[in-house]
Structure 1
Amino acid sequence: MFVSIEPLLRSCTKLTLSLQMKGDDIVVFVKPEGSAKDAAMLQPLVLTAAAAELDAEFADALAGYTGVRASLADQVAATTAILEAAQKTQVSKATKALSGGKTKPATTVDESSSDEDEAEDSAEGEQNTAPTPATSTAAPAAEKSGTDLTSLFD
C-alpha cells in the first residue's frame, strides 16, 4: 500500500490519510497539502467501499488520482508559462511605446482622399477661378495639426 502512496506523497508537502467506518464500509480520505497555486491541486480523494474492495482496488484508484493530479499540474505549469510570456510581451510593448516619445499621427483614409481632392481642385482652379466648396473646406483642415478624432464618428 505504501508503494502506491509514495508518488502522491512526493508531489505534495504533506499527505493526510484518514479512515472512518460508515456502516459496513470504510471511508478513506486522502488529502494532499502544500502551497499549490491552483486549488484543484489540493482536492482530496474520498473512497467509500468494503474492506475487501479497498484491498483490491485502492492502489489502482490512488494511481489514477495521482496521474490526473500530475496531468493537472502540468497543465497549470503550461498555462502559467504562457501567461507569463504574454505578460512580458505586453510589458515590452508598453515600454517601447512609452520610450518612443512622440510619434507621427497616422493618416486616415479620409485624410489621404482629401489630399487627392485638393490636388484635383487646384488643377480645376487653374482652369476656373471660382472656388469650389471642397477647396474652401480643405483650407481649415490644413491649418489643424494632428488627427481629428471627431472625423472618425462621421
Structure 2
Amino acid sequence: MFQALEALTREVGKISLSMTVKDDTMVVVVVPQGESKEAALRQPLVLAGSPAELEAGFGEAVQSFSTAHRSLADQVAATTAILQASEKSQAGKAQKALQKKSTPALAAPAKGTASDGDDDADDTEDESTGTTPLATTATESKPAGTDLQALLL
C-alpha cells in the first residue's frame, strides 16, 4: 500500500489521505496536492468498501490512479509545449505576413504613379490586355489585413 502511495507522492509532490468509516463501509480519499494548475490533475481518488476489500485492492487502485495521473500529466505537458510553440510560430508568421502586406502596398502606388511623360488617357490602359492597371490590381489583390486562415496553414 505505501509503495503505491510513494510512487504517486513522488510524481505529484504531495498528497492528502483522508479516511472515514460509516457502518461497515470505509471511505478513503487520496487527493494529489501538486503545483499543477490543471484541475484534472488535482482530481481525488475516492474508494469505498469494507476494510477487507480496501486491504485487498487499495494498492492496485492507487497504482492504476498513479499511472493514469502520469499519463494525463504527460498529455498536459505535451499540449502545453505544442501550444507555446504554435503561439511563437503564429506570432512570427503574423509579423512576416504584415511585413509582406505592407511592402507591396507601398510599392504599388509608386509603380502606378510612374508615367512615361505622356498625359493622355492611354497611360492608364495596359496595351497588351486592354485593362487598366488599377482594375487588374484590385481584382488580383487580397483584402487588406491579416489572412488568419493562411497563418494556420
- Provide the TM-score with structure 1 as the length reference: 0.68
Alignment of 1:1-154 (within 5 A): 1-100=1-100, 102-104=102-104, 119=128, 138=131, 141-142=132-133, 146-147=137-138
Alpha-carbon distance, 1:96 to partner: 2.0
Q: How many correspondences in the alignment?
A: 123
In 2: Cα distance, 1:56 partner to 1:144 partner? 81
Q: 1:118 to 1:64 in 2, by over 3 A?
A: same
The structure with higher relative contact order (CA 8 Å, sep 6+) is 2
Q: Which has the larger radius of gyration?
A: 1
Unaligned runs of 5+ in 1: 106-116, 121-134
* Cα distance in 2, alignment partners of residues 45 and 102 from structure 1: 56
Deviation (angstroms), 1:100: 4.5
Aligned mates of 1:82, 1:93 — CA distance in 2: 16
Q: For 1:143 and 1:25, locate their aligned partners in 2 and report how far apart those are by CA, in whole Å.
A: 83
In 1, Cα distance between equivalents of 2:63 and 2:91: 42
Partners of 1:102 and 1:45 in 2: CA distance: 56
Give the 3 Å change call, closer, same or farther, for CA 144–26 of structure 1 in structure 2: same
Cα distance change, pair 97–59 in 1 and its aligned pair in 2 (3 A)? same
- Specify whether residues 38 and 2 from structure 1 end up closer, same or farther in structure 2 by C-alpha distance, changes over 3 A only: same
1:97 and 1:143 mapped to 2: Cα distance? 23
TM-score, scaled relative to structure 2: 0.68
What is the aligned-residue RMSD (CA, Å)?
2.9
Percentage identity across paired residues of the two chains: 44
Deviation per CA, 1:5-52, whole angstroms, max 9, x where unpaired?
A: 001111123211000012201000100112212110000000001001
